């Protein structure tokens, strides 16, 4: 790619702007843990919140000041309120009490907001911006100014929008950030406005802060960098108010791997950070997220797989390991023998040729099962068991001979649900008939099956059901066929299995039986003869 490009600073606002997203609730401990991970990643600025706006943000800065951060911890707030002297304004005092070397304040750059939201004159708004920055700059090392609604303001009244930036410069701002606060600016519009602004304010360094209401936050951020922006603001996984902010998990690898820019980011840590933040906000990771998503380098079509096994560049725009991700070969009705050979290699099974008749038989079985409604993309334990059985590698640990479930309402001082399940299994020469109770039929079946087997295979007591999903397939109403996918974990691994039936409990039981078999196989458990 040649010589490294310009140094772009990365400003993360996950802890402030990101926490304003619907369904995002970060505890104080969450914020501290995420801040540490952001610091480890190498972001330049960590915006910790708005001190004084709520007790949590104030407590964050109190605790964070005693931690060793390489990143610049940043407090965020607004300009002073109209009619209050800077020395007495509670927002500015809160920013100083955070004791950060860097402060970011925002001010209105759209005359509509000045008139309608603030109810003051345009000149009075310029005074708020100028003297607030001047006051802060005399007391902290670095002051950044976010020109809120800048692009909308420029479209309506370019002269006034530029006068806002000049007021910030006169106040002593170290960097001015142009904000597409409503997220409604098209890439061509933003590029034109940014270019005109860059020419108008001369050598003043500028950053970009985009929202994603048109799905263009990443594209607009990259466009601004190509035109001279030296800082990009955004959040991990693009979380934020309404449709979110610019997704740094996409912005950063594009900057570094596509545009040749330099940052301080350890780009191989992006995927783990993405998953970490999703876990903290209790949200399922987006599988299709560029660069870091589980499906970002997943290949399903047989022709695709055959090609990438020869040269990854055929269907991968970068090496997955560059962003801490990995290639995944999926098995489906579209798969060919190349998929199977590659998938077996993932499981450590080498030396199986594509011409092996067992692979042809396995491929036929997979295609037939997917026609019935099975899906192995998200249930790889079920596929691995089938593949290893086709190769004669899985012992027979037990045989299932039937089950029965009674689901009932019970009244014990109040109405509650309960279930009782009976399972019949054969382990070696032993015939077992066990009963289990649970909160519902699946729980009761799980209890009964484990009770039946734990005397022979005690390690299964560590199996826990952690997720359960049901998908209705073909059919009508209550007669429809269903697919049940269950996720399991024990002390060392997590795995998923799948079952399909026109009976939801039967599908659940099939997935459960496969999960037990998978654990026993992975634990190298000898079968009972």
CA distance 117 to 153: 14
Q: How confident is the model at residue 81 (pLDDT cuts 50, 70, 90)?
A: very high
Q: How confident is the model over 95-105, as pLDDT tens digits?
A: 999 999 999 99
120 and 80 Cβ atoms separated by less than 8 Å: no
Cα atoms in the Cβ-side hemisphere of radius 13 Å centred on 175: 23
Burial readout 231-268 (b: 16 or more C-beta within 10 A, e: otherwise): bbbbbbbbbbbeebbbbbbbbbbbbbbeeebebebebe
- Fold type of domain 399-522: Double Stranded RNA Binding Domain (3.30.160)
CA distance 399 to 396: 7
CA distance 403 to 444: 11
Q: Considering only CA atoms, which of 146, 145, 131, 148 is closest in space to residue 173?
A: 145
Q: What are phi and psi of 322, to 5 degrees?
A: -65, -30
306 and 338 Cβ atoms separated by less than 8 Å: yes
Cα atoms in the Cβ-side hemisphere of radius 13 Å centred on 111: 13
CA distance 15 to 4: 30
What CATH architecture is 9-280?
Alpha-Beta Barrel (3.20)
Which part of the chain has CATH 3.20.20.70? 9-280
The 3-state DSSP composition of the chain as helix, strand, coil percent (nearest 5) reads 45, 20, 35
42 and 266 Cβ atoms separated by less than 8 Å: yes
Q: How confident is the model over 480-515, as pLDDT tens digits?
A: 788 898 989 998 888 989 999 988 999 999 999 999
Q: Lowest-confidence range among 107-121, 330-344, 393-407?
A: 330-344
Q: For residue 2, is pLDDT > 80?
A: no
Which part of the chain has CATH 3.30.160.270? 399-522
CA distance 509 to 421: 11
Q: How confident is the model over 246-262, as pLDDT tens digits?
A: 999 999 999 999 999 99
The angle that helices 380-390 and 357-372 make with each other, rounded to 10 degrees, is: 140
Fill in the DSSP letter of residue 76: E
Q: Report the predicted TM-score, pTM, of the whole model to 2 decimal places.
A: 0.72
Q: For residue 207, is pLDDT > 70?
A: yes
């Amino acid at each position: 790619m040649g010589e490294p490009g310009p140094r772009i600073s990365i400003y993360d606002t996950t802890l402030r702007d990101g926490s304003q997203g619907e369904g995002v609730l970060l505890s104080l401990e969450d914020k501290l843990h995420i801040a540490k991970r952001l610091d480890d990643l190498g972001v330049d600025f960590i915006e910790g919140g708005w001190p004084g706006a709520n007790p949590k943000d104030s407590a964050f800065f109190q605790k964070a000041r005693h931690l060793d951060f390489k990143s610049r911890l940043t407090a965020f707030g607004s300009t002073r309120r109209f009619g209050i002297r800077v020395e007495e304004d509670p927002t500015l005092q809160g920013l100083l009490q955070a004791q950060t070397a860097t402060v970011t304040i925002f001010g209105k750059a759209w005359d509509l907001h000045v008139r309608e939201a603030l109810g003051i004159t345009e000149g009075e708004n310029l005074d708020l911006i100028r003297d607030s920055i001047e006051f802060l700059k005399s007391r902290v090392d670095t002051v950044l100014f976010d020109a809120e609604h800048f692009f909308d303001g420029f479209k309506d009244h370019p002269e006034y929008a530029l006068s806002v930036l000049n007021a910030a410069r006169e106040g002593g701002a170290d960097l001015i950030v142009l904000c597409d606060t409503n997220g409604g600016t098209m890439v061509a519009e933003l590029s034109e406005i940014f270019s005109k602004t860059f020419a108008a304010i001369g050598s003043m360094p500028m950053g970009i802060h985009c929202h994603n209401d048109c799905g263009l936050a990443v594209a607009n951020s990259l466009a601004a960098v190509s035109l001279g922006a030296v800082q990009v603001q955004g959040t991990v996984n693009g979380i934020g108010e309404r449709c979110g902010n610019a997704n740094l998990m996409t912005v950063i690898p594009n900057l570094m791997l596509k545009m040749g820019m330099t940052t301080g980011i350890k780009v191989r840590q992006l995927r783990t950070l993405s998953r970490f933040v999703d876990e903290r906000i209790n949200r399922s990771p987006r599988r299709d997220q560029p660069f870091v998503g589980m499906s970002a380098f997943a290949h399903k079509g047989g022709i695709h797989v055959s090609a990438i096994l020869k040269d990854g560049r055929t269907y991968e725009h970068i090496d997955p390991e560059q962003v801490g991700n990995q290639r995944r070969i999926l098995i489906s009705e579209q798969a060919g023998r190349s998929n199977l050979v590659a998938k077996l290699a993932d499981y450590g099974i080498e030396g199986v040729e594509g011409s092996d008749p067992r692979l042809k038989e396995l491929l036929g079985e997979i295609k037939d099962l997917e026609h019935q409604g099975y899906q192995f993309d998200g249930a790889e334990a079920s596929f691995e068991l089938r593949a290893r059985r086709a190769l004669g590698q899985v012992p027979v640990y037990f045989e299932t001979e039937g089950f029965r479930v009674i689901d009932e309402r019970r009244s014990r001082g109040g109405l509650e649900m309960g279930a009782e399940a009976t399972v019949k299994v054969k382990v070696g020469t032993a015939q077992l008939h066990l009963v289990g109770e649970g909160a519902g039929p699946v729980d009761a079946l799980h209890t009964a099956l484990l009770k039946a087997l734990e005397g022979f295979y005690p390690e299964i007591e560590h199996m826990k059901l952690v997720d359960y999903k049901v998908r209705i397939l073909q059919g009508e109403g209550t007669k429809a066929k269903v697919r049940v996918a269950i996720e399991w974990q024990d002390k060392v691994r997590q795995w998923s299995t799948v079952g399909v039936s026109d009976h939801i409990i039967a599908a659940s039981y099939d997935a459960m039986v496969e999960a037990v078999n998978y654990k026993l196989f992975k634990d190298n458990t000898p079968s009972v003869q």
